[in-house]
Amino acid sequence: MMVIADSRMPEKAKKQLARIAQPLWLEPNKKVYPSISAHPDIFFCQHPKMLIAAPEISEIKKKELDSAKINWISGDKNPGTKYPETAVYNAVALSKLLIHNIKHTDRKIIEQYNPNEYLTVNQGYTRCNLISLDEQHFICSDKSISQQLKSINKSVLYIEPNQIKLTGHKHGFFGGSCGICQQQLILCGNPEYLKEYESLLRFTYNAGYQIVSLSNEVLTDVGSMLFIS
């Protein structure tokens, strides 16, 4: 199991993460703004059948993916310097549902879906805000996305984003603080600080998932942790 993660994660969380999976640490890319410059969900989109990567990821990273026998393809675009150009890979890609602001989605991601499988949302930073436990259960820190998912009969837990830390910003987003490894929700920080903590415990338990905290610190948006095998 490999995990793509921001090399600037809090040290305690980094050490714990390395015990769970083989890390592929991303270094900051100066072409996007600093707070997200090493965030995996800015440079990669995780589809159930493949990983879609920005063309300009380093040759070293490409070789690491190949050595780990990861099924990946190159996308069409590189992230730009500002939003929405920074959001081209920031989609939630399920087997039969693509959730993103489709106006900004990289073409190689769109090609994996039929038009009737799009859920078009206003928020370009979809993956930052949204984590799918499975095809039915979602945890979200964007109210509009939450309502759209509920309208198609998905189970959604909303988490207030102002509780998530992101350096350089007033707050981050819940999706960016976590990743899915098998039947575990891996969190960069401790969810006990959340006012929705009890609801989160019930929601994940009912979906058949366990929560794993990487540290006892406040939850930090690290641009998602992408577990791939």
Percent of the chain with pLDDT over 70: 100
Written as six digits, the tokens of 100 are 């993103």
Average pLDDT, the chain: 97
pLDDT at 201: 98
- pLDDT confidence bin for 53, thresholds 50/70/90: very high
pLDDT the model gives residue 33? 95
Reduced to 3 states (helix: H, G, I; strand: E, B; else coil), residue 221 is coil
Cα separation, 147 vs 127, in Å, equals 16
Kindly state the average pLDDT of the residues 17-24: 97
Tell which residue, 114, 118, 125, 83, has the closest CA to residue 102.
118
**For residue 71, what pLDDT is reported?**
97
- Residue 189's pLDDT is 98
Rounded distance between C-alpha atoms, residue 54 and residue 33, angstroms: 16
pLDDT for the residue numbered 93:
98
pLDDT value of residue 112: 97
What's the average model confidence in pLDDT over 97-126?
97
Q: What is the DSSP annotation of 115-135? A: GGGEEE-S-S-HHHHEEESSS
Rounded to 5°, angle at Cα 6 from 44 and 111: 5
pLDDT for the residue 225: 98
Distance CA 11, CA 7 (A): 9
Residue-level pLDDT at 60: 94
Q: What is the pLDDT of residues 21-43, one digit of tens each?
A: 999 999 999 999 999 999 999 99
Q: How confident is the model at residue 70 (pLDDT cuts 50, 70, 90)?
A: very high
Domains of the chain, by residue range, sit at: 7-228
Q: Select from 196, 172, 176 the least CA-distant residue to 187.
A: 176
Do residues 128 and 161 make contact, with C-beta atoms less than 8 angstroms apart?
no
pLDDT digits (tens, 9 = 90+) for 117-172: 999 999 999 999 999 999 999 999 999 999 999 999 999 999 999 999 999 999 99
10 Å Cβ neighbour count for 25? 18
List strands edge to edge, sheet with 210-213.
178-181, 184-187, 210-213
Residue 182 pLDDT level (bands cut at 50, 70, 90): very high
CATH no. of 7-228: 3.75.10
